[in-house]
A and B are shown apart, each in its own frame.
Chain A
Amino acid sequence: MKLNGKAWKFGHDIDTDVIIPARHLNTSDPAELAKHCMEDADPNFYKNIEAGDIIVAGKNFGCGSSREHAPIAIKAAGISCVIAKSFARIFYRNALNIGLPIFECAAGADRIQPGDRLEVNADTGEIKNLTQNESYRATAVPEFMQHIIASGGLINYVAKRVKNDG
């Protein structure tokens, strides 16, 4: 699967309160959450992005709260994937669980500039920067986690397992 979009760049340690502030967590409706995605970093983010756009960030993206509302908001806003130098542990797992593709890629996080057109091969982890005419390779996702993704997320994976056991 290929993901295409332009880059929106953020810094290091982007926390889940920035991704989706707690004041909006009195709902779990993805469409509502999407409207407030990244609003404390860029109040017009949701208005300005186009479907398929890509978030690019520094180290420790998604640190802080365990709120799954964070990857849910990003996905529902239409962002196709997140590329970062590193991800906070819980966010990484949550993103895989709900089927938001994420890529750990130090070179990409450094080199990509805001507005660059990117093409990401979700299967191989190859990131093409069409604007700068260069490419980077993301760290491979462990095989076990690929099974979860291939099943369509953790819930489908577990549902299949429960059905087979039953």
Chain B
Amino acid sequence: MPMTIAEKILAAHAGKDRVEPGQLINAKVDLVLGNDITAPVAIREFAKIGVDKVFDRHRVALVPDHFTPNKDIKSAEQAKILREFAKEYKITNYFEVGRMGIEHCLLPEQGLVGPGDVVIGADSHTCTYGALGAFATGSGSTDMAAAMALGETWFKVPESIKFVYHGKLNPWVGGKDLILYTIGKIGVDGALYKVMEFTGPVIKELSMDGRFTMCNMAVEAGAKTGIIEPDEKTRAYVEGRSKFPVTFYESDPDAKYAEVYEIDVSEIEPVVAFPHLPENTRPVSQAGDVKIDQAVIGSCTNGRMEDLRLAAEVLKGKKVHRDVRMIIFPGTQEIYRQAMGEGLIEIFIDAGAAVSTPTCGPCLGGHMGILAKGERAIATTNRNFVGRMGHPESEIYLSNPAVAAASAILGRIASPEEVD
């Protein structure tokens, strides 16, 4: 019986030869993740279960990244709950401010997630790790608590949808544009309860950073996860990095899919998602004259090296428009350091951008970059919901880092080709 990569991973973790969509299974988890918003609730629930240890103290990751460095007393109290739990239960993968990063950039970088893993994280963008060929999905805090106690969780095996990308990528088009284009095509519930499997020659060519960006946003189409078959690029990424054994799975050629989409990328130009849903996409050339007050580059979607390099390529020798506030936040301390080494931070500061320590703050309207009433931002983040970055009457436009950088320079949504 042929299976998809997602089905194979779930079968292996459920101790079965095979699983099929719709089946309810218990699967072992390789890593359980929580942050400073979701883990305090999980810790409160964990205490009610009546166990005195977590299933494996090396396979729980706690990353205070949403309201940190703490923005107020309440958020400091939340972060403290994580810190004390990590100490009490001797959690090895607790990442303190100054040694941390945005969770979905940090965990792959630290080699804590890898091909063939099942990961549940109390953060919806846990699906990012599908880029490594893992089955990784977001959950709530109670599911996190149960998984910390049991080392397993239940799943209804999801159907998979295959997206095959062919053709030649246009200039300035990358993972962010492919996923925005795809969400624009199928809608924000187009993959509800399903796995989005990204494949085809374009994905083979895509960098790991581009793959992380694509899988990160699978949840914005309602998917349980996004996944990409691991290949030589994946191997190069995980070698010398993985802290646990990895297994490379691939879909059988005759595996069954709920749907198959063939997408010719040569017709895709840089994409902008208009307020207030990621599905409201337009090619950048059809954005019209949209003035912006703020440009944000970073987050778990586009805060990696490739993203910062693209932004720097556009910003080099240029100035951010005087009516625009530009905020750039690298995904991890390691990315920050590398960006410094490559001279990117200097380019950003020379252009007039604020460069921040890694934090999820601006992306979710937590802190550092809150929008006032009527303001507009272009952001490389993943959500443009009402009130996501601040006032309910502010607006967010999603794009790739090159478009965000070009827009920062021109003060309106713009293609990098408009910047000379």
In the complex, B355 has a CB within 8 A of chain A: no
Q: Who on chain B is nearest to A25 by CB?
A: B37
List, in ascending order, chain A residues with CB within 8 A of B390's CB: 23
Q: How far is the CA of A128 from the CA of B313 in the complex (A)?
A: 61
In the complex the two chains form, is B74's CB within 8 Å of A88's CB?
A: no
In the complex the two chains form, is A155's CB within 8 Å of B38's CB?
A: no
Of A23, A60, A64, A68, the contact of B366 (CB 8 Å cutoff):
A23
Q: Would you give the 0/1 interface string for A49-61, flagging 1 where the beta carbon is closer than 8 Å to chain B?
A: 0000000000110
In the complex the two chains form, is A93's CB within 8 Å of B139's CB?
A: yes
In the complex the two chains form, is B385's CB within 8 Å of A64's CB?
A: yes
List, in ascending order, chain B residues with CB within 8 A of A86's CB: 189, 192
In the complex the two chains form, is B277's CB within 8 Å of A28's CB?
A: no
Of B37, B121, B143, the contact of A67 (CB 8 Å cutoff):
B37
Binds A, one of B6-14, B108-116, B146-154: B146-154
- Known A40-B386, A67-B37: A26·B48 in contact at CB below 8 Å: no
- Known A89-B222, A162-B149: A97·B142 in contact at CB below 8 Å: yes
In B16-56, which residues have CB < 8 Å from any A CB? Answer: 24, 37-38, 40-41, 44-45, 48-51
Q: How far is the CA of A13 from the CA of B275 in the complex (A)?
A: 13
In the complex the two chains form, is B49's CB within 8 Å of A158's CB?
A: yes
Q: How far is the CA of A42 from the CA of B361 in the complex (A)?
A: 25
List, in ascending order, chain A residues with CB within 8 A of B345's CB: none
- Known A22-B365, A93-B140, A154-B142: A66·B189 in contact at CB below 8 Å: no
Give the size of the chain B interface in residues (CB under 8 angstroms).
54
Q: How far is the CA of A66 from the CA of B126 in the complex (A)?
A: 10
In the complex the two chains form, is A65's CB within 8 Å of B124's CB?
A: yes
Chain B proximity of A23: nearest CB distance (Å): 6
Q: Would you give the 0/1 interface string for B91-128, flagging 1 where the beta carbon is closer than 8 Å to chain A?
A: 00000000000000000000000000000011110100
Of A13, A68, A93, the contact of B38 (CB 8 Å cutoff):
A68
List, in ascending order, chain B residues with CB within 8 A of A144's CB: 24, 154
In the complex, B387 has a CB within 8 A of chain A: yes
Of A28, A40, A88, A97, the contact of B189 (CB 8 Å cutoff):
A88
Of A68, A88, A98, A155, the contact of B146 (CB 8 Å cutoff):
A155
Q: How far is the CA of A124 from the CA of B37 in the complex (A)?
A: 35
Q: Would you give the 0/1 interface string for A78-91, flagging 1 where the beta carbon is closer than 8 Å to chain B?
A: 00000000101110
In the complex the two chains form, is A63's CB within 8 Å of B141's CB?
A: no
- Known A17-B387, A18-B386: A63·B366 in contact at CB below 8 Å: no
List, in ascending order, chain A residues with CB within 8 A of B123's CB: 65-66
Q: How far is the CA of A13 from the CA of B145 in the complex (A)?
A: 27
In the complex, B388 has a CB within 8 A of chain A: yes
In the complex the two chains form, is A59's CB within 8 Å of B51's CB?
A: no
In the complex, B333 has a CB within 8 A of chain A: no
Q: Who on chain B is nearest to A32 by CB?
A: B74
In the complex, B321 has a CB within 8 A of chain A: no
In the complex, B274 has a CB within 8 A of chain A: no
List, in ascending order, chain B residues with CB within 8 A of A98's CB: 140, 142
In B189-248, which residues have CB < 8 Å from any A CB? Answer: 189, 192-193, 219, 222, 224
- Known A26-B74, A65-B124, A67-B37: A155·B140 in contact at CB below 8 Å: no
In the complex the two chains form, is A142's CB within 8 Å of B24's CB?
A: yes
In the complex, A21 has a CB within 8 A of chain B: yes
In the complex the two chains form, is A93's CB within 8 Å of B189's CB?
A: no
In the complex, A94 has a CB within 8 A of chain B: yes
In the complex, B71 has a CB within 8 A of chain A: yes
In the complex, A126 has a CB within 8 A of chain B: no
List, in ascending order, chain B residues with CB within 8 A of A156's CB: 48
In the complex the two chains form, is B140's CB within 8 Å of A97's CB?
A: yes
- Known A25-B66, A66-B38, A155-B45: A60·B78 in contact at CB below 8 Å: no
The 7 closest A-B pairs by CB, nearest first: A94-B140, A68-B140, A60-B189, A97-B142, A26-B75, A26-B74, A22-B364
Please, could you name 26 A-B residue pairs with CB atoms under 8 Å apart, sorted by A? A17-B364, A17-B386, A21-B387, A25-B66, A25-B366, A26-B78, A26-B366, A28-B37, A60-B188, A63-B188, A64-B124, A66-B123, A66-B138, A66-B139, A66-B140, A67-B38, A68-B141, A69-B41, A71-B140, A89-B192, A93-B139, A94-B143, A142-B156, A155-B145, A156-B48, A158-B149
